[in-house]
């Protein structure tokens, strides 16, 4: 079966977007805190999945967290400390584009963390997540899977497409030769951190459109009943003809030439 066509995807994602908006309305009304972690190999489709979840939601309520490499000061802190300020408050939805699991993946494989630091992380992560869940945060951890052939195809596309070139970094290219090492690191991480209170969910993203639909459906199905009645708003007549807009100090720029 070939990849899902864009038109078919758009038809299928629309009702899911309505449910996501309902989820956000429920979170706002109840004070629920939702935290979603997106992890996976380079080019797996994390950015597209995050956009699929967030694009219809109020950005003041739904925040995307994509931290850069730690500063000199942050390197001296408790490892989880830099992530804690980004956790959701009441009514918020936070989407982590990579997360504290950097330590078990790229930092381990590329030598940015010592073996002792990685082992410490794998022991502490379940306890850290236990605290989040016990405090009432709805925590979801998704690993987006894709095979090496598909990864190579997408890396080459990024290299050749000037609109996607910004997505490609020297580390991405260096990591190509470490595919098996990343596989071993992932398996070690899953074994240590796939817990009853904070389980991992793996989603096939070889077909990214189908993967987004699968992830969103799974997320919605695992939440409590999110039905909240929509507040009815009246839209009264103005009582007069609309005023035509006028500009006296500065005029709008000319329209873009078409044709």
> pTM here?
0.91
Is the pLDDT at 259 greater than 80? The verdict is: no
- Closest by CA to 97, choosing from 57, 65, 140, 49, is 65
Of the spans 98-102, 159-163, 236-240, which averages the highest pLDDT?
98-102
160 vs 39, higher pLDDT: 39
Output the pLDDT for position 163. Answer: 86
Mean pLDDT (the chain, rounded)? 94
- C-alpha dihedral, 106 to 107 to 110 to 111, nearest 10°: -170
CB 93 within 8 A of CB 57: yes
How many angstroms separate the CA atoms of 210 and 154, rounded? 16
To which residue do tokens 């300020």 refer?
85
As a whole-number percent, the residues of the chain with pLDDT over 70 amount to 100
Q: How many residues does the chain have?
A: 259
Confidence of residue 172 (pLDDT cuts 50, 70, 90): confident
Low-confidence winner among 9-18, 79-88, 150-159, 204-213 (lowest mean pLDDT): 150-159
Confidence of residue 232 (pLDDT cuts 50, 70, 90): confident
SS3 135: coil
Output the pLDDT for position 35. Answer: 98
- Closest by CA to 52, choosing from 90, 92, 6, 85, is 6
Output the pLDDT for position 95. Answer: 98
How many angstroms separate the CA atoms of 110 and 151, rounded? 18
Is the pLDDT at 134 greater than 80? The verdict is: yes
Low-confidence winner among 25-34, 48-57, 165-174, 250-259 (lowest mean pLDDT): 165-174
247 vs 212, higher pLDDT: 212
SS3 198: coil
pLDDT digits (tens, 9 = 90+) for 28-67: 999 999 999 999 998 999 999 999 999 999 999 999 999 9
173 vs 125, higher pLDDT: 125
Output the pLDDT for position 166. Answer: 85
Expressed in percent and rounded to 5, the helix, strand and coil fractions of the chain are 50, 10, 40
Is the pLDDT at 164 greater than 90? The verdict is: no
Q: How many angstroms from the chain centroid is the CA of residue 25?
A: 19
List beta partners, residue 80: none
Mean pLDDT of 67-75: 94
To which residue do tokens 């006028």 refer?
246
Confidence of residue 181 (pLDDT cuts 50, 70, 90): very high
Backbone angles phi, psi at 97, to 5 degrees: -85, 90
Is the pLDDT at 91 greater than 80? The verdict is: yes
Output the pLDDT for position 1. Answer: 60
How many angstroms separate the CA atoms of 226 and 219, rounded? 12
Q: Which domains does the chain have, with CATH numbers?
A: 6-222 (3.40.50.300)
Query: Are β-strands 62-65 and 138-145 bridged in parallel, bridged antiparallel, or unpaired?
Result: unpaired
List beta partners, residue 258: none
239 vs 92, higher pLDDT: 92
Task: Specify burial of residue 107 (Cβ count, 10 A radius: 0-12, 13-18, 19+).
Answer: buried
């Amino acid at each position: 079966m070939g990849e899902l066509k864009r038109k078919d995807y758009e038809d299928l994602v629309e009702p899911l977007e309505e449910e996501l908006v309902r989820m956000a309305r429920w979170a706002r009304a109840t004070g629920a805190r939702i935290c979603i972690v997106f992890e996976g190999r380079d080019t797996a489709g994390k950015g597209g999945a995050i956009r699929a979840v967030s694009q219809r939601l109020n950005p003041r309520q739904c925040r995307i967290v994509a931290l850069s490499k730690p500063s000199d000061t942050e390197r001296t802190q408790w490892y989880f400390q830099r992530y804690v300020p980004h956790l959701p408050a009441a009514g918020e939805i936070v989407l982590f584009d990579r997360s504290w699991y950097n330590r078990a993946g790229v930092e381990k494989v590329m030598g940015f963390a010592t073996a002792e630091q990685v082992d410490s992380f794998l022991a502490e992560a379940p306890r850290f997540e236990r605290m989040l869940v016990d405090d009432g945060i709805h925590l979801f951890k998704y690993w987006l899977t894709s095979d090496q052939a598909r990864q190579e195809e997408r890396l080459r596309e990024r290299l050749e497409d000037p609109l996607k070139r910004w997505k490609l970094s020297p580390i991405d290219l260096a990591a190509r030769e470490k595919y098996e090492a990343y596989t071993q690191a992932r398996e070690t991480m899953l074994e240590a951190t796939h817990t009853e209170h904070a389980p991992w969910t793996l989603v096939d993203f070889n077909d990214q459109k189908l993967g987004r639909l699968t992830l969103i459906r799974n997320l919605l199905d695992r939440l409590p009943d999110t039905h909240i009645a929509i507040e009815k708003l009246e839209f009264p007549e103005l009582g007069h003809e609309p005023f035509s807009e006028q500009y006296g100090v500065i005029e709008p720029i000319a329209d873009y030439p078409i044709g």
